[in-house]
Amino acid sequence: MAEFKLKLRRYNPESGDAPYWQEHTVELEPHRSVLEGILQAKARDDGSIGVRCSCKAAICGSCGVRINGKPGLACHTHLDEALHTAKDGETIVVEPMGNMPVIKDLIVDMDAVHWKKIQRVTPWLINEEPIPEREYVVPRESMVDITQTMACIQCGACVSDCLSMEVDPLFVGPAALAKSYRFVGDPRDAAQEIRLKDLAEDPHGIYDCTHCFKCIEACPKGVAPMSQIMRLRRISGNDYHIVDRNNGDRHERAFVSLIRDHGLLWEAELLPRSYGGDSWFGKFHPSAGAELVSSLPAITKALLRGKVTPMGALKPHNIPAEDLKQVQRIYETVEGREERVEFNLYISGKDEDLAEAPATEEASA
């Protein structure tokens, strides 16, 4: 047994008062969860603390909160872990999730944001016809593959801190896009191309994600929403050759080809290439100019904050020839494969899982 100090952000919409902080000291073993801490405070000190919860085992998806500023499930975070990340080294701070309006205390309005976005992606199977009399016969791996996205418990932790959503509240967002992969990756679905086109053409769709990794970090179930978004992009661009009006696909290709050519990003070349591909003429694509003008504020800001130096941006940043060769070898290996290899938790496991897996198990499994 140890004592832990919890600081909860309270808010009572009926009081007319602003949110406030309330501290509780709870006594629990260190490997008990933050949720158990909150429930102890609720049972012993103040029954009015509002928090959604049921399973206590990271499966019902009710208890998404921010702990010490990071989104996650309260039942899936140990008290000692939380103490570790406490900013002052002793107080575990629990707040409601972000990007969604607060209803009361730790309870947010998920309908207004999260579920609306889920509904945006036509979240049901559109059957491949004819529907067979028995089950659809599909590759074994395909079902294991979409189990990773099926494992999403709709907790909203990824939505809470999605950078793109903060900037663009209309962004479809990590959870909904992961849900969309659940259908795009499902061989029984008949509408893959339509789904992809829809999400590629939507300016708030798959190309609106800024690769910030926050959703991967936040997700308690290994859904890795960002990875699913990248898969949607690959399938959209490479398999269905969908070239969207927002230039998301071309932009992505420009990134890839720049790194292949220079080993590092070359910002000044990025936009022109996004529009003209690798051809020299394409750089004069009229919309490239328009985009450049519209990006000026962002570029200026970046310059001001010292993120980019003018010389650095205009010149290609080259890396030593030996290193560049290494980079290009990666390209050769990856592009030389007959099939695209996709990382999947359920199929390939995590590195740590695989570390000691003896090769012979393959056969017996």
Q: Which residues bind ligand SF4 (CB under 6 A)?
A: 152-158, 162-164, 174-175, 178, 209-215, 218-219, 221, 223, 225-226, 229
User: Which of 76, 231 has the CB closer to ligand FES?
Assistant: 76
User: Which of 322, 356 has the CB closer to another protein?
Assistant: 356
User: Which of 176, 271 has the CB closer to another protein?
Assistant: 176
Q: Which residue has the tokens 């103040």?
A: 46
Work out whether 355 is an interface residue with another protein (CB under 8 A): no
Work out whether 271 is an interface residue with ligand FES (CB under 6 A): no
Q: Which residue has the tokens 């309870």?
A: 107
31 residue type, one letter: H
Give the Cα-Cα-Cα angle 14, 72, 54 (nearest 5 degrees): 65
C-alpha 78/C-alpha 36 separation (Å) is 9
C-alpha 197/C-alpha 176 separation (Å) is 16
CB 110 → ligand SF4: shortest distance, Å?
10
Q: Which does 157 bind (CB under 5 to 8 A by kind): ligand SF4, another protein, ligand FES, none?
A: ligand SF4
Work out whether 166 is an interface residue with another protein (CB under 8 A): no
Task: Determine contact, residues 23/6, Cβ cutoff 8 Å.
Answer: yes
C-alpha 156/C-alpha 110 separation (Å) is 8
Per-residue mark of binding to ligand FES, 12-51 (x: CB under 6 A): -----------------------x----------------
Cα–Cα distances (Å) from 325 to 207, 254, 317, 319, 336, in that order, read 30, 19, 15, 10, 16
User: Which of 137, 293 has the CB closer to another protein?
Assistant: 137
C-alpha 356/C-alpha 359 separation (Å) is 9
Q: Which does 73 bind (CB under 5 to 8 A by kind): another protein, ligand SF4, ligand FES, none?
A: ligand FES
Work out whether 180 is an interface residue with another protein (CB under 8 A): no
C-alpha 218/C-alpha 64 separation (Å) is 10
Within residues 70-109, the interface with ligand FES by CB under 6 A covers 73, 75
Task: Determine contact, residues 265/255, Cβ cutoff 8 Å.
Answer: yes
* 43 token code pair: 């049972």
Q: Report the DSSP pairing between strands 2-10 and 64-67.
A: unpaired
User: Considering CB under 8 A, how many residues would be counted as binding another protein?
Assistant: 67
Cα–Cα distances (Å) from 194 to 121, 170, 245, in that order, read 11, 20, 15
Contact positions toward another protein, by CB under 8 A?
A: 12-14, 31, 42-44, 46-48, 50, 52-62, 76, 78, 103-105, 107, 110-111, 118-119, 123-125, 127, 131, 134-140, 142-144, 146-147, 150-151, 153-154, 182, 186, 188, 345-347, 349, 353, 357-358, 361-362, 364-365
Contact positions toward ligand FES, by CB under 6 A?
A: 35, 53-56, 58-63, 73, 75
